[in-house]
Structure 1
Amino acid sequence: MSEPCMKLVLVTPEIPYNTGAIGRTCVALNLELILIKPYGFSLTEKAVRRAGTDYWKYVHLSEYDSWKHFLDDRKPRPESLFFFEEHGEQTLYDADYQPDAYLVFGCESKGLPLAILNGMEDQTFSLPMLDSRVRSLNLANVATAVIYQAMRTQLGG
């Protein structure tokens, strides 16, 4: 299997099931999963393993103690960072995904911190929701939708 190019980043994830499900999707599509601490759970919890089923052991996983440590270590180009937030002015369909893209998602209860999003408005995207009664979508569902859209553009589909 080749080294993953596109990466999925979860900043302070809170729900083990979502992280496990996202990890499973990353294995299926050969994406690296990057987790930024602190977590709202332990990676050894049964819920993470259950959601990832027996695939969790295959997750290409990297962990960082903070967003700053991630930036200092990876040094991503600003145009390779794609942030997904409920209030992004553009949709996931507007993004020009790079092959080395970092698809960045915040925690389930608060989203991404403003300190991360400040100055990155051009790189912040949302998923359309057509009914205003729905305040937010499940993180694992959003991440999966974004991953497939980003990969579709990379595969020329």
Structure 2
Amino acid sequence: MSDPQMKVVIVTPEIPYNTGAIGRTCVALGLELILIKPLGFSLDEKAVRRSGTTYWQHVQLTEYDDWKSFLDDRKPAREALHFFEEHGAKSFYEPDYQEDAYLIFGCESKGLPDEILNGMQDRTFNLPMRNPVVRSLNLANTATAVIYQAMRTQLGG
């Protein structure tokens, strides 16, 4: 398999089942999964492997100690960064996702830290929800919806 272009980034994930499920989606689509520490669990936990089932061993996984280390190593172009937040400025349907896009998600309880989002309002997106009683969606569900929307043109849909 060639090196994946689009990448999924989770900043300080807390729930192993979500990370395992997102990892499984990454394997299915040939995407790299990048985790920014600290993690709220050990990657050796059964819960991660159970959610990723037998696919976890195939996840192209990269870990960084913090956001700055990620930026210093990857040096992503600003226009390649797509942040997903409950109160994002635009719908996730709006951008034209580049082949080398970074799809960035925060932890389950707090989302992305302000220090990461500062100055990135125009790069922050939300998933529309029709019923106001739902405050947010599960991280794994959100990531999967975003990944498929971002890859829509690449997948021929």
Q: 2:3 — aligned with what?
A: 3
C-alpha contact (below 8 Å) 1:64/1:70 kept by paired residues: yes
Amino acid at match of 2:96: D
Alignment of 1:19-98 (within 5 A): 19-98=19-98
Provide runs of 4+ in structure 1 moved above 4 Å: none
- Deviation readout 1:73-110 (Å, 9 max, x if unpaired): 00000000000000002011001201000000000000
1:17 maps to what in 2? 17
Q: Secondary structure at the match of 1:52?
A: helix
CA distance in 2, matches of 1:96, 1:33: 21
* Secondary structure at the counterpart of residue 40 of structure 1: coil
The DSSP-based 3-state class of the residue aligned with 1:48 is helix
- SS across alignment from 2:153: helix
Q: For this pair of structures, how many residues does the alignment match? A: 157
Q: Please state whether the residue corresponding to 1:142 is helix, strand or coil.
A: helix
Q: Which runs of 5+ in 1 are unaligned?
A: none
Report which stretch shifted further, 147-156 or 59-68.
147-156
> How far apart, CA to CA, are the structure 2 residues paired with 1:10 and 1:145?
15
Percent of counterpart pairs with the same letter? 76
Q: Structure 1 residue 150: deviation in Å?
A: 0.4
Question: Partners of 1:118 and 1:129 in 2: how far apart?
Answer: 24
Cα RMSD of the aligned pairs, angstroms, is 0.7
CA distance in 1, matches of 2:7, 2:110: 22
TM-score by length of 1: 0.98
AA at the equivalent of 2:119: G
- Structure 2: runs of 5+ lacking an equivalent: none
Q: In 2, distance between residues paired with 1:145 and 1:155?
A: 14
TM-score (norm 2): 0.98
CA–CA distance in structure 1, aligned partners of residues 29 and 154 of structure 2? 12
CA distance in 1, matches of 2:108, 2:39: 11
Q: Deviations over 1:57-76 (max 9, x none)?
A: 00000000000000000000
